[in-house]
Amino acid sequence: MNSDDERQSKRRSTNYPICPVCGHQFKYRCKRSLLVKTLLFWTPVKRYFCTHCAVCRYVFNPKYGDYSSVILLLSCLQIVLGES
């Protein structure tokens, strides 16, 4: 029974990234556009929704290295595609 309790607590304590705007923890994932899925499938970038400031943001996993150019490209795509 103890192992079941540990699994439940691990599920609840998922390490979501922090929103760079408001500083709260992201709670939900958003769908990525078809263009981002098709062209940038190889990047460790995920899209999260912040419940505090009500905005979707692209966030990369920092353990894979510096993807600042990819983040810039995704931000430009988000502006061009008109996604909020």
Tokens representing residue 27 in the block? 């709670």
**Are the CB atoms for 43 and 58 separated by under 8 Å?**
no
Structural tokens at position 20: 């760079």
> What tokens were used for 55?
């905005």
- Output phi, psi for 70, to 5 deg: -70, -40
Domain count, the chain: 1
| pLDDT at 15 (0 to 100) | 77
Per-run averaged pLDDT (10 residues), the chain, 84 residues: 56 71 87 82 82 84 64 75 66
Structure confidence at residue 72 (pLDDT): 73
Place of tokens 């894979």: 64
Tell me which residue range forms the domain holding 63: 2-81
55, 42 in Cβ contact below 8 A? no
